[in-house]
Structure 1
Amino acid sequence: MTTIDAGTQAGKQAGKQAGKQAGHELQVRTVDLGGQVLRTGIRRGRDAGPPLLIFNGIGANFELLKPFVEALPDFEVILFDVPGVGGSPAPLVPYRFSNLCVLADRLLSHLGYDGQVDTLGVSWGGALAQEFARLHAHRCRRLVLAATSPGVIMVPGRLSVLSKMIGLRRYTDPQYLRRVGADLYGGALRHDPAWLDEHGRHMQPPRGRGYLYQLLAAWGWSSLPWLGALKQPTLVMHGTDDPIVPLLNARILAAAIPHATLQLVDDGHLFLVTGADSAARAIGSFLRA
């Protein structure tokens, strides 16, 4: 287990500049997969290794991860808005994580990625990444789990925090986000609330049905019964000040996954954004190992 410091504002700017110097901007397009439209983003990279497929958090459009993507210029990155989030319309009926894994596999094939990918999941997307690594083990070479848990059988955050996560107000009311954001996300946001303004600027409020479907996808799901069967080298990253997903969940994941390494970050739930540069260095080193 290792610990890294949260990224500074200067580090974040350095990561952005590196992304610009790479000369590769995020290419956004919509893809129709048998009636389900997905808004996707691809950032070409300079590295010859597998691309990095990212599963984002609940209600989060992929622009929210832009600071992290810009800090990781060498790697090709694939993102998409989950149905009902951002630019991807919600389906008529609810879905499970297994359905989204099939959809992600089809998306990769449609985009021309027939080989392996590395997979990164953030928070809610970390659960989806675990399921993808299990169901599509032939696709997933390495796995990164950031600020996530093993599902419904987890150590929960405080009720006062979780109650704010259920509703959509933090996506639609900037003043409310600024008022509760520090207690909600922890870490650097406790000391520099300007991060909340920048984060909120990129938010696209999820549709009510889409957000509900994301909650239902995770309902009753747990990876604990099969974590020991995952074969991928896995990096478990977690903030030491994460009010939403307590740190003990990361320790459980790292202990249960056979080839896992735990790396602690001196930050909160959004360390991929507030500490983009240092997080990108750690993840880049892991993916190249």
Structure 2
Amino acid sequence: MSDFHPNLPRIFFSKIGNQKLRTAIWSGADKGFGKRTPLLFFNGIGANLEIAQTFADTFTGRDIITFDMPGVGGSPDPTFLYRPWWVAKAAKQILIDNGYDKVDVLGVSWGGGAAQQFAWQNKDMTHRLILCATTTGVTMVPGNPKALSKMMSPKRYIDRDFLAKNFETLYGDAASEGVGEFSINMMPPSVKGYLFQLGAMVGWSSLPFIRRIRAKTLVIMGDKDHIVPVVNGRFLHMMLKRSRLKIIHGAGHLFLLTRRQETIDMIRDFFGEPEVHVDVEPVLLPSVKETYVGWHH
């Protein structure tokens, strides 16, 4: 749409102990449906907060809160090894500091682990939970070895040609559908940041507490996902007491981008909200543009 203006987030730093985390809040436009529950968004591994822009532009109506993990996007490198409980604790502090006491929680891939941890650690703050392309952790059924070997390195965030060439092998989504949307606001994580984020989930599993997550949960999976096979979603659905499972046929790991409208319709249906169709083109955010200028000088 030519007259479309993106809803740019307010970007600022949150201080969690000795660690600074770059935080973004998109302000929701109610669209005549009353005050909607804010949404806490946990991103995938190595993914900077700007990648959530097209989702925020399409999923209007509520405030969306997210933050860069240490060493990712604009957050400084980690000062210590951290675990999912710390990520959940940091998210809680960010929410409280910005006046939020109740949120819906959405986690994508790596962020799905953090979302489960948050929902268990902060039951009173969690209204509903959405888990996209994710698992119970170390107890997962692993994906395609070719895709997993490419996941061990942040190269796909650093080298756009590598991303384009390996997009389908990596994610299972057609490159033509996803590369542009994924890469337009992509900023490479530091190697330390990426490795610490990978390491945060080593040995972690939600199985010790998953049965005690009280929030109503929507599990969404793509049946062509090369990283997180669909069976993991079936297992999550079986373990979560109040859950429903949706499988997007023909979709890979990045269905939140490549099949965005379909995914958002599922989420709206789960929330019991009217549909708001917004046709958006991906836009390069000013914060990413500034970073590129910094790299080239």
TM-score (norm 1): 0.88
Aligned partner letter, 1:181: F
Q: Tell me: CA distance 1:254–1:171, structure 2 relative to 1, closer, same or farther (3 Å).
A: same
Q: Check if 1:205 corresponds to 2:182.
A: no
2:78 is aligned to: 91
The structural deviation recorded for 1:250 is 0.2
1:64 is aligned to: 51
The structural deviation recorded for 1:226 is 2.2
Partners of 1:24 and 1:78 lie apart in 2 by 13
Which deviations, in whole Å up to 9, do the C-alpha atoms of 1:223-278 show, x marking residues without a partner? 12321111100000011110000000000000110000001113110011112222
Select the residue among 35, 38, 49 that pairs with 1:51: 38
Q: Check if 1:109 corresponds to 2:93.
A: no
Q: Check if 1:269 corresponds to 2:269.
A: no
Partners of 2:64 and 2:272 lie apart in 1 by 15
1:5 is aligned to: none
Partners of 2:8 and 2:74 lie apart in 1 by 18
Is the contact between residue 22 and residue 75 of structure 2 (CA under 8 Å) also seen in structure 1? yes
1:247 is aligned to: 230
The structural deviation recorded for 1:67 is 1.4
SS at match of 2:61: coil
Select the residue among 158, 163, 168 that pairs with 1:172: 158
Partners of 1:151 and 1:63 lie apart in 2 by 25
TM-score (norm 2): 0.86
The structural deviation recorded for 1:198 is 3.7
The structural deviation recorded for 1:92 is 1.6
The number of aligned residues is: 268
Partners of 2:63 and 2:181 lie apart in 1 by 25
Q: Check if 1:138 corresponds to 2:128.
A: no
Is the contact between residue 61 and residue 203 of structure 1 (CA under 8 Å) also seen in structure 2? yes
Is the contact between residue 68 and residue 277 of structure 1 (CA under 8 Å) also seen in structure 2? no
Q: Check if 1:80 corresponds to 2:94.
A: no
Aligned partner letter, 1:245: V
Partners of 2:230 and 2:49 lie apart in 1 by 25
The structural deviation recorded for 1:57 is 0.4
SS at match of 2:168: helix
Partners of 1:166 and 1:35 lie apart in 2 by 27
- Show structure 1 runs of 5+ residues with no match: 1-12
The alignment-based identity, stated in percent, is 41
2:17 is aligned to: 34
2:139 is aligned to: 153
1:9 is aligned to: none
Partners of 2:78 and 2:222 lie apart in 1 by 33
SS at match of 1:120: strand
Partners of 1:71 and 1:238 lie apart in 2 by 20
Runs of 4+ in 1 over 4 A off after TM superposition: none
SS at match of 1:215: helix
Partners of 2:130 and 2:266 lie apart in 1 by 11
Q: CA RMSD in A?
A: 1.8
Is the contact between residue 65 and residue 272 of structure 1 (CA under 8 Å) also seen in structure 2? no
Which deviations, in whole Å up to 9, do the C-alpha atoms of 1:115-157 show, x marking residues without a partner? 2100000000000000000111111110000000000011001
